[in-house]
Structures are given as C-alpha cells and as structure tokens.
Amino acid sequence: MSSILDLSPRVFAPPEAPTSDHFRWEELAFLWDSNDLAAAHDWINERWSRLIRNSVGGQMDPEAQFLQALAFAVLALHFTQHGNQEGAVLMVDDAMVALGRFRPGFLGVQVDPIIATLQELRPLLAGLAPDAECPLWPFVYRKFEYRK
C-alpha cells in the first residue's frame, strides 16, 4: 500500500539566519584586496539583507550595523575611484563614525586598519570638486584583515 504522505527524513535547506559560516570573511577579503569594491558591496548587502530580515533586532542588530558600517567604507573607496568625491566624503564620514563603535575589531574583522585607510583618505578629499578624479594614484589601501 502506498502512502500519500511521505514522512521519510529529508535534508532541508539551511536557514537563512546567519551562522558562524555566514560571514566567510575570506570571500570579502578577496574582493576587498582585489579592489572589486562593487562585488564587495554586493557581498555585504546580501548578508545584511538576510540578517535584518531574520534577526529579531532587524536593523538594530549589532551584526547588521557592523555590516552597514563596512558597506559605508566600501562605498567610500568605490566612490573616490569613480569620480564621486562628494559621495566619498559622506561615506568616509559615516563609515568612521559607524565603525568606531566596533574598534578594535568585531566578528573577527580588524576594524582599525579600515579606519586608518579612511583617515588617510579623508583629508585628500577635502576641497576636491564633487566630480574630481581620485586623489590617489595608484589607489592603494590597507588589506582587509580578519581572524582565520
């Protein structure tokens, strides 16, 4: 006799809520260190979106706020390289404030090197026209550091 209801054990899809594997910092480090900042922003945004959707704290979740702070830093670096100095200034300022509460590190990520990069960039942006070229050539910044 066959049953309409199949009760055999099945493997379900993993939950979307973050786990320790959710933040695979080596992936972000590769994108950051390769200067693929658009992809780095997408990587962060994907995890941030899942986190705020599944976390009780939503946007107030400390991990979500940390990811948002990282996104500000990534956007600052991206904007300055693509001639959006006005946007870069805004993102540098937002990133430094947002990342400051996570110093010296959070979730295994070393925050101080990111802040140091932004602190070096900020004075170079002062007084530039909104659409000026990147003030650094070659554009070099600190590597993404995290605990492996």
**Domains along the sequence of the chain with CATH:** 29-125 (1.10.3450)
pLDDT for 1: 53
34, 74 Cβ separation under 8 angstroms: no
pLDDT in tens, 30-88: 999 999 999 999 999 999 999 999 888 888 999 999 999 999 999 999 999 999 999 99
HSE of 58 in the Cβ direction (CA atoms, 13 Å)? 0
pLDDT for 17: 46
SS3 content of the chain, % helix, strand, coil (to 5): 55, 5, 45
Name residue, tokens 């693929």.
36
Distance, in Å, from the CA atom of 103 to the CA atom of 110, rounded to the nearest integer, reads 8
pLDDT at 16 over 70: no
Taken in order 135, 81, 86, 97, the sign of the CA dihedral is: negative
